Amino acid sequence: MAHYLKVNQTASTNTYLSRLAATLPGGTVIYTPSQTAGRGQKGNSWESEDGKNLTFSLLLKRPPVKARDQFYLSEAAALAVVEALTAAAGDGFTVKWPNDVYWQDKKVCGMLIESSLDGSDIAHSIVGIGINVNQERFLSDAPNPVSLINITGREHDLDALLRQVCTRIEGLVANLGDENARKDLHQRYMAALYRNDGQEYPYEDAGGHRFMASVAGIAPDGTLTLRHNDGTLHDYLFKEVRHIINDTVL
C-alpha cells in the first residue's frame, strides 16, 4: 500500500524523494500542489499551475525485474496512467513511446523514471509523474498540452486520481516477477501505444532526417523498431527518433 506524504512546495518531487529514498519504505509517494522546477525527459521542464495538477513521485524498492528489463516499469507506469485517465475522462488516451501519455494528439502527462542499480538488480526506482488535470490555460512554449478539464469541461478530484494512478502502478509492478504477467503487460502497452495502428506516420531521427514509418515492435529494453516505408526495419533508442505532429517535432 502506498504511503502519501504531501509537501507544500518543492522544486522537484523526484529530487526530493531521491534524497530520502534510503530511509523511506517502498510505496512512498511524495506529492505537492506547487512544483517549481519539475523535470521531464530530455531535460525538459514541466509547467504546472499551483494547486491545479498532479505532480508526484512514487518510490519502488526492489521491483521484481532485472535492471536489463526495467522498461517494464515504464510500461506499467504509463499504462496505469492511461487506464486511470480513461476511467476518469473517457476514451482517447494513448502512450507515446516511451512513456508520455497523450489524448488524441495532445500531451496530458509526462513522466521521468530514475533508477538506482545494484549490480543486475534494481535497488529502487523513482517514478515521477506530472498530469495536467484542472489547469485550463498553458503559458509555456510547450507545443501541445491538454488537461482533463479541457477534455471534459469539468474539474476532477486530484486526491482521488492520485490514489487511482498509484494503486494501479503498484498492482502492475507487483506482478512483474511472473513471465505471463510481463507478457500481458507488454501486450496491453502495445495496444495502448500512440499511432500503433499499422499505418505510416512521419518521424525525425537524431540527424534531422525525416521519414515515414510504422511501429514494428518494442523490445524489453525499450528499443523501438520502426518499419520504414521502403520496408526496412530500424531500431531506435530513446532520444534517437521523435514523432512529427502537424509539422512539429515532439
**Averaged over 15-29, what is the pLDDT?**
96
Burial class (CB in 10 A: 0-12, 13-18, 19+), 139: exposed
Task: State the DSSP string of 163-225.
Answer: HHHHHHHHHHHHTTTSHHHHHHHHHHHHHTBTT-SS--EEEEETTS-EEEEEEEEE-TT--EE
Domain 3-191, CATH homologous superfamily name and number: Bira Bifunctional Protein; Domain 2 (3.30.930.10)
Question: 249: closest CA among 192, 202, 197?
Answer: 202
Q: How confident is the model at residue 143 (pLDDT cuts 50, 70, 90)?
A: confident
What's the CA gap between 103 and 1, in Å, rounded? 29
Neighbours of 6 (CB within 10 A): 11
Query: For 166-204, what is each residue's pLDDT tens digit?
Result: 999 999 999 999 999 999 999 999 999 999 999 999 999
Whether 29 has a pLDDT exceeding 60, the answer reads yes
Query: For 207-229, what is each residue's pLDDT tens digit?
Result: 999 999 999 999 989 999 999 99
Could you give the strand order of the β-sheet that contains 93-96, starting from the edge strand earlier in sequence?
3-6, 28-31, 54-61, 121-131, 106-118, 100-103, 93-96
pLDDT given at position 140: 79
Whether 40 has a pLDDT exceeding 60, the answer reads no
Domain ranges of the chain: 3-191, 201-249
What's the CA gap between 77 and 185, in Å, rounded? 11
Percentage of the chain surpassing pLDDT 70?
96
- Kindly report the pTM of this predicted structure: 0.94
Yes or no: is domain 201-249 CATH 2.60.40? no
